[in-house]
Amino acid sequence: MDRPLQVGITGGIGSGKSLVCQIFKTLGVPVYDADSQAKVLMMTDTVLIEQIKKEFGQTSYRADGSLDRKYLSSATFGKKDRLEKLNSLVHPRISADYIHWANEQIGVPYILREAALLYEVGANASIDKMIVVSAPEGIRIKRVSLRDPQRTIEQIKAIINSQWPEEEKLKRADYIIYNDDSRMVIPQVLEIHESLISQGTSR
């Protein structure tokens, strides 16, 4: 076992991938949360900070140095080219940070890289196995509306439309977890966990 099996886990907004990752964490699996870490890097990575200021203006950051998320959101929302530009700045820094993190994970069969846009930014190319958390769009919209009441239905649909279609992700998945309120999630996670441990320890 030279290095852990690298497993990606993704799913559209409201699919419940964060909940699924919490279950994996309770099983002792190291999880890299790319979306949360992106927020950290946008505040601490000096290279990324300068790139964002250059592309989106000095007002992307407040006088105290904190990121003005509201400004940046308004600068990219509904503007596909601007959102893609922001992603093109953030994701290389995330990839470098993930590699550093992954190299520190010693003696475990597998690790998880959690991200909403794994396929969209091509990060799946360096992943050994992919898990997709799936839920119907109607359920996802309802969940996000309850979780983020400040978002309108139109905003939620715009986010969904900016991500890969569900069927495209499912075609490329090695494992699928159905979080559609019709079946239990934990047994599905446990089955995948056992499979990945077997593969990770036999390398």
Among the listed ranges 43-52, 86-95, 98-107, 119-128, which one has the minimum average pLDDT value?
A: 119-128
| Prediction pTM value | 0.88
Indicate the number of domains in the chain. Answer: 2
For residue 62, is it within any domain?
yes
pLDDT at 80: 81
Please tell me the predicted confidence (pLDDT) of residue 166: 87
Q: With 80 as the cut, is the pLDDT of residue 203 above it?
A: no
Q: Which domain holds residue 175?
A: 1-30+109-203
Residues 61-88 have pLDDT tens digits of 999 989 998 899 888 877 888 988 998 9
> Domain holding 138: CATH number?
3.40.50.300
Is residue 17 within 8 A of residue 132, CB to CB? The reply is: no
pLDDT tens, residue by residue, 122-133: 888 889 999 999
Same domain, 156 and 86: no
Q: Are residues 6 and 63 in the same domain?
A: no
Q: Are residues 131 and 197 in the same domain?
A: yes
